[in-house]
Structure 1
Amino acid sequence: MRLITFLIQLVLVVKVYAFRNSRTQKLPDYQDNDFPNDTRSTVTTYDMLTIISNSGQQFLHIVYEQEYEETVAGITQPLSSVSIGLMTLRYDGQLRRLTQMLESMRHPSFLVLLCSPVHMVHIFRTITENKIRPFGVTWLAVLVGGDAEVTVSRLERFILEGTRIRILAKDSEGLFHLFLPQVDTYGFVRFHKRGKGSLQEIGHFWKQDAIPQHYSLSGRRMKVACKEVWPVVITGGTNPDGSVQLVSGFEVVLLETLSSYLNFTYSAVVSPDNAWGNLQSDGTVTGIVGMVARREADFAISTVTITEGRESVTDFTLPYYFTALGLASRVPRIKNRAVAVLSPFTPQVWLYITITILLMGPIVYAHSYLMNKSLPAAAMLSLQWSSFNMFRNIVAQGNFIQTIFWSQRCILFFWYCYCLVISALYSGMLTAVLAIPSYETPINSLEDLPRAVKDGFVVGVMRDTSNEDVFKVATGGIFKQTWELFDHKDRSRSFVAGPEIGMRRAMTEKFVFIISEAFSTSVARRMGASRKFHFGREKFLPLRIGLPCWTGAPYLESFNLALLRVVEGGLLSKWEEDEYRKLPEERTSKDGETNTVAITIVHIQAAFYVLLLGICVAVAVLVIENVWNTV
């Protein structure tokens, strides 16, 4: 950059020296042979080259009127010898080419306006009304003729905060007046004269930043967009000017700290849709993020998550709070004990035991039949008697079969051992089932959600939030699979309006709520029901929280420095815990306290079901027997 400046100045020195040596009469300063008229009332090539050399930019754009065509042509040749990208554009009333050029800029540029005061006001008015935000443009408005003070005051109406701009006004004496912007307490740009003289004499002011400067934010009235959510922001009534009152919340304390540290005042507003807001498919932005993007507010609070869509329309501060998404559901319930007597064994084991009992009766009967054939004097066992005794053995009710044959004794001995093992296992497992109840399978991760949906659970999330967008925009993987589990036919079942509604449904219904860890914990503590929730062990998608400011906000860096000090001091965690201390303490069991639970009808209800089933079967058999005997 210094090399470029040196080359331009070298060209100027050579050109001026050659021009002066070719004339016997010494010309006044700021005159040029190309302009025979009095150059004190116009902008010369020499002026333009001096301005460009002080800009320090590699990309230069000049918008000029026809009367400055020779001036612009005069700087083209000197600039061709240095590496400065130059683009010139003649002013036209419609400004189509200018607006297209501004919207297509992708690198920092220096843009000089050589226009009449009326046309210069027209340019900035068009830019403001069309909401054009050119990237990295530093403006230099050169005023010649007319009342500079009046023109500057008119330009103030159309210069937005964050616009990099300087104004040079050349008077009839050939001197330049430099105007630099500042921001008043109401957020409006006001120009102040910072120097007067030749371009060299006001050079020490020239290096000042062209961004509208604040008075250290002292007295600045900021408009803050917010959304009520405990324990972040709690609002009260409405003030006469339409703003809302901020009662408490740890981000309200943060706002007051920033206000005191950076010396600004504020008024709070809420969005009409009462949402955080996102960038929509049609290009609109909703919620408090949309208010900031449209400059209806200077920045927003209420734990706004930093997302790609939001960053495309606003500028976020450094993240000052971190959390992650998780799952919240009701505490797993005790499984139904109506079939508790069957729970010690799996259905497959019960099937094997039943088949074994049914087979052992015919086996003992067949053995008795064979022994009776070889020894007719031996006692013959009936099939019914053999089968009934096998059942008695399995339920540990003894055995009435007496035999003198060792082969039959071997069969019965090993059968008794089998029954002993089955009976002992069943008794031990049944005791454990009744003493330690069986619970529903907890929902700990996104991989558990398909099973939960099959069990009757509904998967839910807060609508119109970044949490919903995570799954909505997913093109594959577990997030896409989770999005398909939401109820899109009846959206009211899966998409809730706020964290309190979702958490209450998760506590009382078969509802799995996808929510940030910070919100799930805070809402549960506020409800006094932390022990009634099950929070999934797996946390996914880390979230970063920041303050969204409108694009190009010059106070962003000041906010970053202040937030960095807050985070380093651990103040935000303290303020959050202070909000929790305002809640009544939750009732929890004392350490070491044990409760002995007596057996209730719930534990033994299965025994009554078996007895009732037996009576029903007996009645049915009785009816069948009576009908059979009468026939």
Structure 2
Amino acid sequence: MFIAWNYVFLAIYVSVLVPGGQATNAMDLPLSEGNGPGHQKVTRYKEEVTAAVTQNTSLSAMRSGVRGIASSMRASHRRGGDMAVLKYQGSIAPLEKELKSFFHRENLRNVIVMCSAPNTVDVFRQVFKRKMESPTIYWWLILEDDVTQEVLDNMREGTQISVALKMDEAKYKLMRSFVNKDDQLKLQTVGSWWWTPSEGSQHFLKEPIYKDLMDVYSDFGGRLMKSSVVDNWPFFRVMKDKASGEIVSDAGIDFHLLNTIAAKLNFTYRLLLAKDGQWGGVLPDGSITGMIGMVARHEVHFAINEITITGPREVVVDFTLPYFLESTTIVSPAPAEKNRAFAVFSPFTAEVWGLLSLATLLVGPILWLISVAKEELVLKGIWRADSLSNYSFNMYRSMVVQGNKAEMEQWSHRFVLFTWFFFCFVVYALYAGTLTAVLAVPTFEKPIDSLWDLLGAIENDGYKATVVYQTSNEFFQGNRPFKTTMLLQEATSGIYKQIWDVFDPSVGYVYTWDEGVEKVLTGKFAYMNAQLGAEIRAIKRGIHNYHFAKNTFYPQGYAMALPSGSPYKGKLEKLLVQLASAGLVDKWTRDEVAKVAGAGGGEASKGPGAITLVHLQAAFFLLAIGYSTAGGVLLVERLAMFFCGRKEFHSSFAGKPILVKEIGY
């Protein structure tokens, strides 16, 4: 038996007493000589502890203390472990540094505290203040005075301890910490250790002095757990119970998930609303908001409500492995149907229309020139060519499939018409088929299908990007009030940086998912958020009113948020992985989507519809132009006749009758 006060031992491997067995504590193992760094470290610590014990204990205690401590260190080294001995001098900063060092990142680190009663209490007061709770650290206390309650008062769940409390000169009571049904940290007596001159060290254990956390939290013993929530269907729909005033839930993916976990691990839960209604994170002033803040301040045991794992959040809380994966989408107003005023011109491009017009204008003059040449050079006085206007008008009739009344008796004309009629046939076939498709199936303006499209819409069409304030999709900082992820703000080039540069916080923030989806319908707004929640809200409001980008971005995982160092993290994430692998999360997702299937005030057109006046307005517009032009020409002729006189008008405008046979009507 030994006492070396005011020392803290960090051991990577420590043998402990087990029920029904002999004493296998490393203190009972003999010293063995050796060389190398491990031996040198043990020798140095042995000399240091020897000096300390000499100053504080009797000679016999010193001898047994040095022998026991050195044996423990030697045994730890022989098993491939390590041990550090730190003298307590009012601060546990050296211990914290050792625990966080690269050399001590094992799955379990054992810390043996052998200090005076006041110093032991002070050690745990600093553990509490420094938030050193961790499932990978186990604390072993050796106490001469009973300060167990003071120690417990300075502990949070997540600090696991076993205590050897001195009862008399030769006997110690062995205890292990646990959390009772009332959510209080207590010590449970698991056995005792004693020493006699004749038999040496002896022990009795009715339960293990150390218990694996996966076993400890396989049954919560009916504890009442607290969870922070916000109203966020389809993941967690919450409301206030009229009778009790408590926050309750009756639907949501995470609601079903939490109920299943609670039934499996034997606990009940109480829901607490985040006062600001936000998911939350770390503000520039260091304060923590929303559900994340409640978890970080230990106001609740966990939060599960579509909480995205982000780097800044992981600084203040722990996350389980993700149980739900999805990406971020861009929701914008459904693209408007393109203006049909000139739909009849849509089958051909402007370039094609220009060439067709030029060809139609040229074919009439070409025929007229051939006729004039033939009249002057071949059939002079026998045959007379028709007028240029008749040739041109008949070629136009051929183009618009209205027949041709020109009599072409000369082969020189006929060869031109062979090619012209075939040309008109090809053009008509292409035009008619394309026009039918264009008029039957509506065409729409270019949608926002990617971040690049969004950038173009912001810069050219006056769109505004929107995100929910204080969520993982709020990517912005600068003089903004909040930062969660630096996805856009930290970008130095590329699309993220460009969108960050044009984001307008005065109109870009919304405070609920519903507000974000509704804002899209009020103007040129593009709402960025997770796909499932956005789609399900759009269905309720008429999904045909919205457009979802084909290209998503920023994949994100949802997990349970737990206080830092939570001891039940391993058990919860194992169960979450099992539920997700079994397909239950997908099933609950389908169930929630099915609740709104068919809702939303109608559906978009599923196929071609009847031809309406909207489709033909260009044709009527051209007809009106023709009527107006004809009326204008008639008016000009009437005015000309009025001012010039009938005889002069006829000689100038009507022309003289031709006695020879003409080509024409």
TM-score by length of 1: 0.77
Structure 2 SS opposite 1:500: helix
Equivalence for 1:192 = 188
**Aligned-pair CA distance for 1:189:** 1.8
Q: How many residues align?
A: 582
**Aligned-pair CA distance for 1:570:** 4.1
Whether the 8 Å contact between 2:171 and 2:193 is mirrored in structure 1 is yes
Select 1:607's aligned residue among 619, 622, 630.
619
Equivalence for 1:110 = 110
**Aligned-pair CA distance for 1:270:** 2.0
**Aligned-pair CA distance for 1:191:** 1.9
**Aligned-pair CA distance for 1:225:** 1.0
Residue 37 of structure 1 aligns with an amino acid whose one-letter code is: S
Structure 2 SS opposite 1:396: coil
Equivalence for 1:336 = 339
C-alpha spacing 1:42/1:582, structure 2 compared with 1 (3 Å):
farther
Structure 2 SS opposite 1:304: coil
Taking the aligned partners of 1:6 and 1:122, their CA distance within structure 2 comes to 27
Taking the aligned partners of 1:338 and 1:152, their CA distance within structure 2 comes to 86
Residue 107 of structure 1 aligns with an amino acid whose one-letter code is: R
Q: Which runs of 5+ in 2 are unaligned?
A: 1-12, 16-23, 34-52, 196-200, 476-483, 645-665
Equivalence for 1:263 = 266
Q: Does 1:559 align with 2:561?
A: no
Whether the 8 Å contact between 2:440 and 2:610 is mirrored in structure 1 is no
C-alpha spacing 1:478/1:196, structure 2 compared with 1 (3 Å):
same
Equivalence for 1:319 = 322
Taking the aligned partners of 1:215 and 1:597, their CA distance within structure 2 comes to 62
Equivalence for 1:410 = 415
Per-residue CA deviations over 1:554-584 (Å, capped at 9, x if unaligned) read: 2223323443554455444444444455558
**Aligned-pair CA distance for 1:216:** 2.7
Whether the 8 Å contact between 1:7 and 1:82 is mirrored in structure 2 is no
Equivalence for 1:499 = 513
Taking the aligned partners of 1:8 and 1:93, their CA distance within structure 2 comes to 27
Taking the aligned partners of 2:57 and 2:609, their CA distance within structure 1 comes to 110
**Aligned-pair CA distance for 1:460:** 4.1
Residue 616 of structure 2 aligns with an amino acid whose one-letter code is: I
Whether the 8 Å contact between 1:334 and 1:437 is mirrored in structure 2 is yes
Whether the 8 Å contact between 1:227 and 1:270 is mirrored in structure 2 is yes
Equivalence for 1:376 = 380
Residue 262 of structure 1 aligns with an amino acid whose one-letter code is: L
**Aligned-pair CA distance for 1:344:** 1.7
Whether the 8 Å contact between 1:331 and 1:533 is mirrored in structure 2 is yes
Deviates more, 1:618-627 or 1:133-142: 618-627
Residue 167 of structure 1 aligns with an amino acid whose one-letter code is: V
Taking the aligned partners of 2:637 and 2:578, their CA distance within structure 1 comes to 91
Taking the aligned partners of 1:251 and 1:606, their CA distance within structure 2 comes to 55
Deviates more, 1:615-624 or 1:324-333: 615-624
TM-score by length of 2: 0.73
Equivalence for 1:201 = 202
**Aligned-pair CA distance for 1:220:** 1.6
Select 1:275's aligned residue among 278, 286, 293.
278
Equivalence for 1:62 = none
Deviates more, 1:229-238 or 1:398-407: 398-407
Residue 376 of structure 1 aligns with an amino acid whose one-letter code is: K
Structure 1 SS opposite 2:202: coil
Whether the 8 Å contact between 1:107 and 1:135 is mirrored in structure 2 is no
Whether the 8 Å contact between 2:194 and 2:202 is mirrored in structure 1 is yes
Residue 118 of structure 2 aligns with an amino acid whose one-letter code is: V
Residue 265 of structure 2 aligns with an amino acid whose one-letter code is: L
RMSD, aligned α-carbons: 4.4
C-alpha spacing 1:297/1:239, structure 2 compared with 1 (3 Å):
farther
**Aligned-pair CA distance for 1:449:** 4.2
User: Superposed, which structure 2 residues align to 1:81-96 within 5 Å?
Assistant: 85-93=82-90
Equivalence for 2:172 = 176
Structure 1 SS opposite 2:375: helix
Equivalence for 2:394 = 389
Equivalence for 1:299 = 302
Q: Does 1:220 align with 2:223?
A: yes
**Aligned-pair CA distance for 1:350:** 0.1
Q: Does 1:245 align with 2:241?
A: no
Query: What percent of counterpart residues are identical?
Result: 30
Select 1:254's aligned residue among 249, 254, 257.
257
Structure 2 SS opposite 1:608: helix
Taking the aligned partners of 1:256 and 1:304, their CA distance within structure 2 comes to 17
Select 2:289's aligned residue among 282, 286, 289.
286
Whether the 8 Å contact between 1:326 and 1:515 is mirrored in structure 2 is yes
Q: Does 1:426 align with 2:431?
A: yes
Whether the 8 Å contact between 1:276 and 1:287 is mirrored in structure 2 is yes
User: Superposed, which structure 2 residues align to 1:1-40 within 5 Å?
Assistant: 11-12=30-31, 37=58
**Aligned-pair CA distance for 1:409:** 2.6
Equivalence for 1:548 = 561
C-alpha spacing 1:459/1:478, structure 2 compared with 1 (3 Å):
farther
Whether the 8 Å contact between 2:331 and 2:528 is mirrored in structure 1 is yes
Per-residue CA deviations over 1:39-71 (Å, capped at 9, x if unaligned) read: 689983345346657xx756xxxxxxxxxxxxx
Whether the 8 Å contact between 1:181 and 1:213 is mirrored in structure 2 is no
Taking the aligned partners of 1:488 and 1:263, their CA distance within structure 2 comes to 51
Equivalence for 1:522 = 536
C-alpha spacing 1:263/1:589, structure 2 compared with 1 (3 Å):
closer
Select 1:465's aligned residue among 441, 466, 471.
471
Taking the aligned partners of 2:407 and 2:32, their CA distance within structure 1 comes to 133
Residue 481 of structure 1 aligns with an amino acid whose one-letter code is: I
